[in-house]
Amino acid sequence: VCFNYTLGSPASRTCRLGMFLTNAHVFHSVLFTSYYTICHRDVKAARVLERSREMWGFCNVKCLLLLVYLHRDNLLNVHGARHPGKPLAGLRLLDVGCGGGLLSEPLGRLGAHVLGIDPVSDSIHTAQLHASYDPDLCDSVSYRACTLEELSAEEEEEEEGSGHFDAIVASEVVEHLADLETFAFCCSHMLKPGGSLFVTTINKTNLSYALGIVVAEQLLRIVPSGTHDWEKFISPVELERLLESNGFSVQSVQGMLYNPASGAWSWTNSTAINYALHAVKLRDDPRRDPAEEDRGAAAHSSAPRD
């Protein structure tokens, strides 16, 4: 398995998802248990954290490594950053539902300016504490305890026009939200034109009910009971439709699979349970050609895409 990653020609930086399928065994999920260890403050705070973390943590963390790959390589693809050692240098990212900063920190270490937001202030507090010791992170990662709607409203007040962020990450968030339209609208508002949105979530299928709720919550009790509401799961097709009606163009959808025997996550063809989605905010170009408009119209139709 070759790990020499050359940030070279544009050709070598095009779609990485296929590559990771073959390197699937790279992904280890042990990392999240130790990360949890590091984030543990003292017992009292830990219990509070644990409750909020169990809301976000299992879901947030499990995809961590995959996400860092996904973001780093898709972002590189689009923005062409060229700093070996800091491949995301110069990019502004928003991590929605950041929890304890489990995803914000690696993204910050790779050079991006990350703003992590989460409504649970204890999570934010832990995240800030954890980042405060590391001089590399102090400058690149910041946190706020607020919701996406609140942040979006502030943006609107400050200035008209397009948003600030090059990319938004919403990892294991959309399956907990009641109002996805608002979410999509706010994301669109916060993003620069051409900016990327990365979502990972759980599909609404019988299989995800069986594994995600029955097995994970009730049988194995990997996640506390009541964490997920199957009704709130969303299928990739639905999500795609929702995003495209809010000015996004979905670039790729990829399934993810957890192997309990090896404890590893990998990319997979089936989006039956977990999946990741990458969408790009369409630029408001008045000179949009008719062909693109037709494609946009077709996407709004109810015919599901494969």
Partner 1 sequence: MHKLAKAALAFHGLGRCSVTEKRVSAANILRRGLVCAEHGDDGGRSEVYDVIISGGGMVGSAMACSLGMDTHLLGKKILLLEAGNKKVMDKVPDTYSTRVSSIGPGSVSLLSGIGAWQHISKMRCKPYQRMQVWDACSDALITFDKENLQDEMAYIVENDIVVAALTKQLDGLSDNVQVKYRSKVVKYTWPMPHQAADSVPWVQVTLASGETLQTKLLIGADGPNSMVRRELGIPTVKWNYDQSAVVAVLHLSEPTENNVAWQRFLPTGPIAMLPLSDTESSLVWSTSHRLAEELLGLDEESFVDAINSAFWNNENQSELIETAGSLFRGALSAVMPSAGSPRQLPPSVAGIGPKTRVMFPLGMGHASEYIRHRAALIGDAAHRVHPLAGQGANLGFGDVACLTRLLSQAAFNGKDLGAIQHLLEYETERQRHNLPMMAAIDLMKRLYSTNSAPAVLLRTFGLQATNMLPALKEQIMAFASK
Cα 3 from Cα 109, distance rounded (Å): 19
With CA atoms as reference, report the closest residue to 302 among 251, 237, 226, 219: 237
Residue 245 neighbours by CB under 8 Å, 6+ apart: 184, 300
Question: Considering the rule CB under 8 A, would residue 267 count as an interface residue with partner 1?
Answer: no
Question: Considering the rule CB under 8 A, would residue 2 count as an interface residue with partner 1?
Answer: no
Phi first, then psi, for residue 302 (nearest 5°) are: -85, 0
Question: Considering the rule CB under 8 A, would residue 180 count as an interface residue with partner 1?
Answer: no
Structure tokens, 48:
């509070």
Cα 116 from Cα 93, distance rounded (Å): 8
Residue 9 neighbours by CB under 8 Å, 6+ apart: none
How many chain residues are in contact with partner 1, going by CB under 8 A? 53
Cα 228 from Cα 199, distance rounded (Å): 17
Question: Considering the rule CB under 8 A, would residue 100 count as an interface residue with partner 1?
Answer: no
Beta bridge partners of 116: 95, 143
State the minimum distance, in angstroms, from the CB of residue 304 to partner 1.
Answer: 34
CA dihedral sign, ordered 298, 303, 305, 306 = negative
State which of residues 35, 165, 198, 275 lies at the interface with partner 1 (CB under 8 A): 35
Binding string, residues 50-79; x marks residues near partner 1 by CB under 8 A = x--xx--xx------x--xx--x-------
Question: Considering the rule CB under 8 A, would residue 31 count as an interface residue with partner 1?
Answer: yes
Question: How many CB atoms are closer than 10 A to CB 36?
Answer: 18
State the minimum distance, in angstroms, from the CB of residue 135 to partner 1.
Answer: 6
Label residue 17 exposed, middle or buried (CB < 10 Å: 0-12, 13-18, 19+): middle
Question: Considering the rule CB under 8 A, would residue 170 count as an interface residue with partner 1?
Answer: no
Give the binding range for partner 1 (CB under 8 A) out of 129-137, 155-163, 165-173, 177-185. 129-137
Q: What's the maximum distance between 2 C-alpha atoms anywhere in the chain?
A: 61
Question: Considering the rule CB under 8 A, would residue 86 count as an interface residue with partner 1?
Answer: yes
Question: Considering the rule CB under 8 A, would residue 108 count as an interface residue with partner 1?
Answer: yes
Give the binding range for partner 1 (CB under 8 A) out of 105-113, 227-235, 241-249, 274-282. 105-113
State which of residues 8, 9, 11, 34 lies at the interface with partner 1 (CB under 8 A): 34
Question: Considering the rule CB under 8 A, would residue 221 count as an interface residue with partner 1?
Answer: yes
Q: Is 97 labeled as ligand-binding? A: yes
The 8-class DSSP code of residue 99 comes to: T
Instruction: Please answer whether residues 248 and 281 qualify as being in contact, where contact means their C-beta atoms are separated by less than 8 angstroms.
Output: yes
Residue 63 neighbours by CB under 8 Å, 6+ apart: 171, 172, 200, 256, 265, 274, 276
State which of residues 18, 80, 260, 304 lies at the interface with partner 1 (CB under 8 A): 260
State which of residues 39, 173, 197, 213 lies at the interface with partner 1 (CB under 8 A): 39
State which of residues 14, 33, 121, 218 lies at the interface with partner 1 (CB under 8 A): 33
Binding residues for S-adenosyl-L-methionine: 97, 118, 171
Instruction: Indicate the annotated binding residues for Mg(2+).
Output: 172, 175-176
Chain residues in the site for partner 1 (CB under 8 A) = 3, 5, 26, 28-31, 33-42, 45, 50, 53-54, 57-58, 65, 68-69, 72, 84-87, 105-110, 129-130, 132-136, 220-223, 260-264
